[in-house]
Amino acid sequence: MGRAAVFDVDGTLVDTNHLHVTSWWEAFRQAGHRVPMHDIHRSVGLAGPDLVARLLGDGRDRAQDDAVDAAHKALYGTYFDRLPPLRDAARLLRRLDHDGWTVVLATSAGGAELSALRRAIDADDAIAATASADDVTAGKPAPEPVEHALDVVGVPAERAVFVGDTVWDMRAGSRAGVACVGLLSGGIPRADLEEAGARAVYRDPAHLLAALAESPLARGA
């Protein structure tokens, strides 16, 4: 029976969280809303409609939701040709593939955004499958993205590890019954990731790669 290493993408493999914060802040501003960047940062990782609902609340004009989400997508899209991969992200995926793990991406990104992220990572040879926003009806922190990723490659939860950078990732993985590893590269504090279910926390992909032998992703784990 195989083993699956499931990875979030934004903030975990590609250094994009603050680009999302800036894009969301401008999208909200264009719609007449003043939303603090700190609050936006803590919401990155949610699907767009869920992020808008969380930050604007139940009393918002829901007729604006799609326009705000579309504005964020358009603004963030201006970065597609220069998204920065996190250090050693590709090396980590290739090492896990070499060690016998089936590498799967589970992300709220889809379409052209997901394609741009995969170009930035530049490790398609090590990625067996992707569960994107296009494939599920409920995003993180619901377990569906992680469950779908495991279904695609036919690996049970007890044979999988999920790596992410937000509390939404940790909650989704925990609800799916998967061991969770947190990365600090998305800017979320260690204590928050641990409280949300992280079994181990590392600075970034390079740190996880360097500590792989003692991590939940160790060979033979």
How far apart CA 218 and CA 196 sit, in angstroms, is 22
45: domain range? 17-78
How far apart CA 21 and CA 188 sit, in angstroms, is 13
What pLDDT does residue 220 have? Answer: 54
Residue 221 in any domain: the answer is no
pTM score = 0.95
Examine the domain organization and report whether 103 and 153 are in the same domain: yes
Render each residue's pLDDT in the chain as its tens digit; 221 residues: 699 999 999 999 999 999 999 999 999 999 999 999 999 999 999 989 999 999 999 999 999 999 999 999 999 999 999 999 999 999 999 999 999 999 999 998 888 999 999 999 999 999 999 988 778 888 899 999 999 999 999 999 999 999 999 999 999 999 999 999 999 999 999 999 999 999 999 999 999 999 999 999 996 55
**Which tens digit of pLDDT belongs to each residue from 55-95?**
999 999 999 999 999 999 999 999 999 999 999 999 999 99
Examine the domain organization and report whether 50 and 116 are in the same domain: no
- Decide if 20 contacts 117 (C-beta within 8 A): no
What pLDDT does residue 109 have? Answer: 87
* Residue 144, CA atoms < 13 Å, CB-side half-sphere: 13
Q: Which residues in 174-217 belong to E strands, given as ranges?
A: 179-183, 198-202
The tokens for 84 are 């920065």
- Dihedral of CA 152/156/159/161: which sign? positive
Residue 180 in any domain: the answer is yes
Examine the domain organization and report whether 119 and 197 are in the same domain: yes
Residue 220 in any domain: the answer is no
Among 78, 94, 113, identify where a domain stops.
78
**Could you tell me the CATH number of the domain that includes residue 58?**
1.10.150
Examine the domain organization and report whether 185 and 113 are in the same domain: yes
Task: Tell me how many domains the chain contains.
Answer: 2
Continuous segment of H or E residues that includes residue 102: strand 101-106
Examine the domain organization and report whether 45 and 140 are in the same domain: no
What pLDDT does residue 1 have? Answer: 66
How far apart CA 125 and CA 45 sit, in angstroms, is 25
Residue 126 in any domain: the answer is yes
The per-residue pLDDT of the chain, averaged, comes to: 95
Examine the domain organization and report whether 47 and 74 are in the same domain: yes
Examine the domain organization and report whether 102 and 159 are in the same domain: yes
Examine the domain organization and report whether 168 and 206 are in the same domain: yes
- Decide if 177 contacts 157 (C-beta within 8 A): yes
**Could you tell me the CATH number of the domain that includes residue 168?**
3.40.50.1000
Continuous segment of H or E residues that includes residue 163: strand 160-164
Examine the domain organization and report whether 96 and 71 are in the same domain: no
Examine the domain organization and report whether 187 and 139 are in the same domain: yes
Residue with tokens 């619901």: 142
